[in-house]
Amino acid sequence: MRAIIVDDEAPARRRLRGVLQQINTVTRIDECASGRDAVELLKRGAPDLVFLDIQMPDLDGFAVAAAASEERPPAIVFVTAYDEHAVRAFEIQAFDYLLKPFDDERVIATVKRAEDFLEWIRREQSGDAGAPVMRGFGDVTVDFATHRVRRAGKLAELRPKEYALLVALLRRGGRVASRLELLREVWGYAEDVMSRTVDTHVAMLRRKLEHDPAHPRHIVTVRTFGYRIER
Amino acid sequence: MKRALIVFGAWTAVAFLFAIQMHYQVVSQGNERTWGWIIAWQLAGWWSWALFTAPVCAFAAWAVRIRRPAALIAAHLPMALAIGVACAGSEGFVKWALGLYRTPHTFATGITDSVAMYWTFNLLVYAMVAGLYHAWRAARLEMQLVQARLDALVGQLQPHFLFNTLHTISAFVLEDPKQANRMITRLSELLRQSFNRERGPLVTLEEELELLDHYVAIQEARFGDRLRVTFRVDPRAAAAVVPTLLLQPLVENAIRYGVVPNGGVAEVEIAATREGDRLHLQVRDNGPGVNGDKRVDGNGAEAGSGLGIANTRARLQELYGAGHRFDLTNAPAPTRGALATIEIPYSDNARDHR
């Protein structure tokens, strides 16, 4: 994977480079010190992963993200000291949101999930006949052809809405889905008056598919925003 | 306009309270007056006070510069007499003009009778109005100072500055542990001084520059070769008393807008000089400069002047009034960038300012 680091502070770029160098699937790392250079590099470099600082003096991270290719979208990870932009970041389909300072494990986990996500959406986009009909996490497998969900080989009984919710989450390949998005997609509501509905169905899914529903490892809550699947 | 309506409404309420009292007084003395006459009688008096409230407040506003209580009262006394008599006179005139007197009165006796009857009472009313004004102003001033201090501390400790610094330290921990240690020391010193409750609203320039030095060292570590900060301080200015955290928001802005990422080096210069009884402070950068009161960002768009700047302006106004100057302009050609200039009276004694 090709990664770009965009940050106006050199030590901050070195910090992230240091972590990415430990991951052998990251084959190339480019750095930019400004938003404008980043836009340039996004066009030329066709990156897979973009780590974006938000507060930069020329173009902010959101302006840079808007310049990303739509045909071959990279996984965009915002890296910032501000926690107040997270909702906006996920609304523009950011893959993740890292708060400075971070530890190595957090970055490595993000890159692993991004790998998964990129593979998934690129297959979807190419309309590849070999697109997987099976998908899952942990010991759970989902067969999209037969709508069957198995856990450790045993059939799990899911109600239709629960199945639809699970598919909606899986289709994002590890990217976060907001409650509102899920509500629109699964229930077709246009308003978020019933966002509790999503939470109760997620709770049901966890009870059926997680080992320890109180401490879910695969159907993860993203605070104040929504949910995502972790493999 | 709103203020005038409040004043007018308050005096009308007073007039009605006195009307009730007058009604029972008249009844207890076996006399008879209509409510209409009583209310007109009271309004003639209290609406006169509504007119005279503005001059009383204007005088009290001027008189706040008198610091000693005895001198303040002495200054108010002749004013109280003048306004008390004038107000009673205008009340008498209205009563005569409307024919409210029950006995025959000429224009002259209408006024003189009223003055004789009310001038002492009006001294009390004057004292109440002036006293209320002084109390209101003192409360407002206190609130503004507390707010300014809070803003300054909050500005100093903006969480993103703290987190960005911790992130930089985390980058240095492995590659340059000595530098990481230096940054931790600087940050601790900065936090220690910010948390110091004994650090009042005023400090010496030397203390302010010491804090700034820690702040700048941290920023230099973050931006490396792309930031160069120089201090040019006249030793005769070091003991000057300045509002705490006066320069920090200016330097923060200079760095923020000066570090333009097109390869150049941001240069920030902090200068302090003393000329006689004036203290001159300057923060200059080589960034894109300002447009009016607004900073210009890397795209040439207006970027706002920031909370820190508004706070600095408000505090200077509160502490020095017309005795200060604060400008945010473009540096004179051929240099470019923004230039913040502050000029305040030189003082090396904190007691000169409250």
Q: Which of A20, A58, A64 to mutate to test the interface with B (most CBs of B within 10 A)?
A: A58
- With DSSP H G I counted as helix, E B as strand and the rest as coil, what are the percentages for chain A, rounded to 5? 40, 20, 40
Of A14, A36, A55, the CB nearest to B175: A14
Helix axes B107-156, B306-320, angle to 10 degrees: 140
Q: Is the pLDDT of residue B200 over 50?
A: yes
In a domain, B146, yes or no: no
β-strand A2-6 against A28-32: which pairing, if any?
parallel
Task: Please answer yes or no on whether A58 and B297 come within 8 Å at the CB atom.
Answer: yes
Q: In which element (H, E) is residue A2 found? A: strand A2-6
End position of a domain, from candidates B95, B112, B139? B139
Tell how far CA B21 is from the center of its chain: 42
Q: Is the pLDDT of residue B354 over 50?
A: no
Q: Is the pLDDT of residue B129 over 90?
A: yes
If one compares B259 and B1, the residue with the highest pLDDT of the two is B1
Q: Is the pLDDT of residue A193 over 80?
A: no
Q: Is the pLDDT of residue A223 over 60?
A: yes
Percent of chain B with pLDDT over 90: 53
A192 touches chain B (CB under 8 A): no
CB A142 within 8 Å of CB A134: yes
Range of the domain at B87: 2-139
Residues B55 and B177 in one domain: no
If one compares B87 and B336, the residue with the highest pLDDT of the two is B87
End position of a domain, from candidates A67, A102, A126? A126
Residues A165 and A208 in one domain: yes
Which residues does chain B have within 8 Å of residue A58's beta carbon, measured at their own beta carbons? 260-262, 297-299
Of A12, A56, A80, the CB nearest to B171: A12
- In whole angstroms, give the CA distance from residue A229 to residue A172: 8
The model's pLDDT over A9-50, given as tens digits with 9 standing for 90+, comes to 899 999 999 999 999 999 999 999 888 899 999 988 889 999
Q: Is the pLDDT of residue B303 over 70?
A: no
Confidence of residue B102 (pLDDT cuts 50, 70, 90): confident
Mean pLDDT score, B191-208 = 79
Task: Please answer yes or no on whether A57 and B257 come within 8 Å at the CB atom.
Answer: yes
Q: Which residue of A has its CA nearest to B225?
A: A10
Residues of chain B in Cβ contact (below 8 Å) with chain A: 159-164, 166-172, 174-175, 221-224, 226, 256-257, 259-262, 297-299
Percent of chain A with pLDDT over 70: 94
Residues A56 and A87 in one domain: yes
| Summary count for chain B: helices (H), strands (E) | 9, 10
B214-228, B237-251, B260-274: lowest mean pLDDT where?
Answer: B260-274
End position of a domain, from candidates A81, A108, A126? A126
Q: Is the pLDDT of residue B9 over 90?
A: yes
Confidence of residue A225 (pLDDT cuts 50, 70, 90): confident
Q: Which of A5, A7, A15 to mutate to test the interface with B (most CBs of B within 10 A)?
A: A15
Helices (H), ranges, B203-303? 205-223, 248-258
- DSSP assignment, residue A102? -
Residues A151 and A189 in one domain: yes
The model's pLDDT over A51-76, given as tens digits with 9 standing for 90+, comes to 999 988 778 899 999 988 888 889 99
Most confident range, picked from A92-96, A130-134, B280-284, B331-335: B280-284
In a domain, B215, yes or no: yes
Task: Please answer yes or no on whether A101 and B169 come within 8 Å at the CB atom.
Answer: yes
Residues A116 and A89 in one domain: yes
If one compares B253 and B297, the residue with the highest pLDDT of the two is B253
Task: Please answer yes or no on whether B257 and A99 come within 8 Å at the CB atom.
Answer: no
List of residues 6+ apart from B210 with CB closer than 8 A? B193
Residues B105 and B205 in one domain: no
Range of the domain at A192: 134-229
Strand order from edge to edge, sheet including A177-178: A177-178, A226-229, A219-222
The model's pLDDT over A88-105, given as tens digits with 9 standing for 90+, comes to 888 888 899 999 999 999
Helices (H), ranges, A21-67? 35-45, 61-66
β-strand A226-229 against B227-233: which pairing, if any?
unpaired
β-strand A49-52 against B294-296: which pairing, if any?
unpaired
The model's pLDDT over A109-147, given as tens digits with 9 standing for 90+, comes to 899 889 888 887 777 777 655 556 667 888 898 888 888
Number of separate domains in chain A:
2
